[in-house]
Amino acid sequence: MNTDLNRTGLQLRSTVSADGQLEIALVDVDTPAPAADEVVVRVEATPINPSDIGLLFSAADFSTVVVSGKPERP
C-alpha cells in the first residue's frame, strides 16, 4: 500500500461578495485520508460543462476583469 500520498488538491471556487464582486479562484484544499473501505482517486483534469459556465461567472461584467495571483496560478 502506498502511504506517500499528496493530501491536498485544488478546488475551483466562484464567489460573489455582498457588493457584487465576483471572484474565481483555485484554492488548495485538504484531502481527507480514506477510511479502511474507501479509496482516493486522483483526477488530473476535467472539463467544465458549458451549462455550468453561466453559474460559474454569474452576471459578471467582463469589462472590469482584473487578473491576480502568481504566474503559476493566476
Domain total for the chain?
1
Q: Is residue 71 part of a domain?
A: no
Higher pLDDT, 3 or 30: 30
- Residue 2 confidence (pLDDT) above 70: no
Q: Is residue 72 part of a domain?
A: no
**4: confidence class by pLDDT, cuts 50, 70, 90:** low
Q: What is the pLDDT of residue 3?
A: 54
Parallel, antiparallel, or unpaired for β 8-16 and 22-30?
A: antiparallel
**Which residues are bridge partners to 10 per DSSP?**
28
With cell 476535467, the residue in question is 46
Q: Is residue 18 part of a domain?
A: yes
Range of the domain at 13: 8-32+40-64
**37: confidence class by pLDDT, cuts 50, 70, 90:** very high
Give the torsion through C-alpha atoms of 34, 39, 43, 48, to 10 deg: -80
Q: Read off the pTM.
A: 0.64
Q: Is residue 69 part of a domain?
A: no
**6: confidence class by pLDDT, cuts 50, 70, 90:** low
